[in-house]
Amino acid sequence: MTRITIATRESQLALWQAHEVSRLLTLHHPELDIEILGMTTQGDRFLQASLAKAGGKGLFVKELEQCLIDERADIAVHSMKDVPFELPSGLHISTILEREDPRDAFVSNDYSSLEALPENAVVGTSSTRRECQIRALRPDCNIRPLRGNVNTRLAKLDEGQYDAIILASAGLKRLGFADRISHTLDTNICLPAIGQGAIGIECRQQDANTQALLQPLHHEITALSVYAERKISTALSANCHLPIAAHATQFDQTLTLRALVGSLDGQQMLRAELTGELSAMPTISQTVADDLIAQGALELMASMNDSHS
d(CA 127, CA 240): 10
d(CA 72, CA 154): 34
d(CA 129, CA 127): 5
Catalytic residue among 74, 82, 101, 163: 82
Residue 126's nearest CA partner among 243, 299, 269, 292 is 243
Residue 82 falls in the annotated catalytic set:
yes
d(CA 190, CA 106): 10
Radius of gyration, CA atoms only, the chain: 19
Question: ∠ at Cα 207 (61, 93), nearest 5°?
Answer: 40
Say which residues have a Cβ less than 8 Å from residue 17's Cβ, sequence separation at least 6: 8, 77, 78, 79, 174, 199
Residue 225's nearest CA partner among 152, 267, 285 is 285
DSSP-assigned letters across all residues of 77-131? EEEGGGS-SSPPTTEEEEEEPPP---SEEEE-SS-SSTTTSPTT-EEE-S-HHHH
Distances in Å between the Cα of 217 and the Cα atoms of 3, 29, 99, 102, 106 are: 17, 11, 12, 19, 31
d(CA 61, CA 43): 8
d(CA 243, CA 33): 41
Neighbours of 115 (CB within 10 A): 11
Catalytic positions, please? Answer: 82
